[in-house]
Amino acid sequence: MASAQTSHELENKPLAGIRVIDFGQIYQGPYATFLMAKAGAEVIKVEPVTGEPSRQRRMVNKGATVPFEMLNANKKSVTLNLKSEAGRALLKRMISDADVLLENFAPGVMDRLGVGWPVLHEVNPALIYASATGYGLDGPDRDNLAMDLTIQASSGMMACTGFPENPPVKAGPAVVDFMGGIHLYAAVVTALLERTRTGKGRLVEIAMQETVYPTLASSLGLQYELGDTETLRTGNRHSGLSLAPYNVYRASDGYVAIICVVEGHWQNLLTVMGREDLKGNPCYESHAARAARMDEVDSMVQDWAAQLTRAEIFEATKALKVPSAAVREVCEVVKDPHMHNRGMLEWVEHPRLGQVVMPNSPIRIHGADKVPYVAIGDLGAQNEEIYGDWLGISPDDLAAYRREGVI
């Protein structure tokens, strides 16, 4: 563990004392280190002297940097040019007293720069080196170019998403980037835990494509059952088309998702809809029976739902314990009273964005101290602190590094 441990030792934060050298960019890497920073780790975000791509989106508009400001909270900012000999030397000095290096460059980038896992492992045998890529560090597809969209395509996620009469469509949010990011976090913490027993560092790795595979669970079952057919897109219906009602229905002011998981839900939904006349009717008395007349069952629920608002449907179903939820717009989610009440979301006065909602970590460790939102500084804001105060580089040398584009 880094020497910082001593001063952090008494802190009531799970990752206190852990120092992370963070080359994460865009969404995937930065989400992993965001979670580390929120758990109390010291995260040093290292960017090229021009800034990482997400920071540069300031040129587009303020809104375009919201993801950057959200995912890089509570990190220190330094610049470093790994294409210079002096830059690589600075990295090695940091690595000798760090716990984790994390990067989500394409495979081989750090190796070509001369600072890949074998080199840094030599510098610090206790280092956890964490890599996230689209397809992984080896295998025939290693060098296929990967973005959230292309992995949604190659992983099977897209084929399962959308209405059967329409083309495949991506999950709108950048689900794959974030699945990668949280798996990367998990890999790092797993290796840190192991290190408390062994004292040894590890190369840990995430391939975005591989993190999607388990999520296909229902479709994998259908695929096993039906053989090599084309994937059936089922819209908002159950992936196996074996449950009904299970759909999204149009309300007078939007949409509501309703599911019957157990038979009691269906009985209660009949009560909610004022269709007690159907109770005991064998045409509807099991999932199998209702699935056989899915269109009819969906129409029945739809005709009822169309007369009511989302809120009315939700309240009526909740009262009788039938699972449902309004389909909410992002602007509603941002102001969600429940998530604000729980402290997952909070309004912060942001130095660049003004009043804005920022999230905390979804990893909730009860009893641990909270890490309040602190916006990341301007590019290189902690260059003096890290290179000067920590590594002991003189002001003159720092000035020279700046002139020469090393930092």
Report the catalytic residues: 238
Secondary structure letter of residue 390 according to DSSP: I
Residues 153-172 that bind a second copy (CB under 8 A): 153-163, 166-172
Contacts 24+ apart (CB under 8 A), 92-95: 92/120, 92/123, 93/391, 94/21, 94/44, 94/386, 94/390, 94/391, 95/21, 95/120, 95/123, 95/124, 95/127
Regarding 324 and contact with a second copy (CB under 8 A), the answer is: yes
Residue of 22, 25, 27, 269 that binds a second copy (CB under 8 A): 27
Regarding 98 and contact with a second copy (CB under 8 A), the answer is: no
Number of residues that bind a second copy (CB under 8 A): 147
Q: How does DSSP assign 44-58, residue by residue?
A: EEEE-TT--HHHHGG
Given the structure tokens 């309240």, which residue do they identify? 315
String marking each residue 332-351 x if it binds a second copy according to CB under 8 A: xxx--xxx-xx-xx------
Cβ atoms 207, 272 nearer than 8 A: no
CA angle centred on 391, ends 385 and 396, rounded to 5° = 75
Residue of 116, 323, 377, 405 that binds a second copy (CB under 8 A): 323
Residues 37-76 that bind a second copy (CB under 8 A): 39, 60-67, 70-71
How many C-alpha atoms does 90 have within 13 Å on its Cβ side? 26
Regarding 289 and contact with a second copy (CB under 8 A), the answer is: no
Regarding 120 and contact with a second copy (CB under 8 A), the answer is: no
Residue of 56, 84, 231, 268 that binds a second copy (CB under 8 A): 231
Regarding 224 and contact with a second copy (CB under 8 A), the answer is: yes
Tokens of 6: 């001593």
Residues 235-274 that bind a second copy (CB under 8 A): 235-236, 239-240, 242, 246, 248, 250, 255-257, 259, 261
Residues 123-142 that bind a second copy (CB under 8 A): 135-136, 138-141
Regarding 306 and contact with a second copy (CB under 8 A), the answer is: no
Nearest approach, Cβ of 405 to a second copy (angstroms)? 21
Regarding 15 and contact with a second copy (CB under 8 A), the answer is: yes
Residues 170-209 that bind a second copy (CB under 8 A): 170-175, 177-179, 182-183, 185-187, 189-194, 196-197, 202-207, 209
Residue of 150, 268, 271, 302 that binds a second copy (CB under 8 A): 150
CA angle centred on 360, ends 354 and 364, rounded to 5° = 165
Task: Please name every residue paired with 64 in a beta bridge, in sequence order, or none if there are none.
Answer: none
Cβ atoms 306, 251 nearer than 8 A: yes
Nearer to a second copy, 323 or 388 (CB): 323
Q: What is d(CA 308, CA 297) in angstroms, rounded to the nearest whole number?
A: 18
Q: Which residues of 171-192 are buried (b: 16+ CB within 10 A; e: fewer)?
A: eeebbbbbbbbbbbbbbbbebb
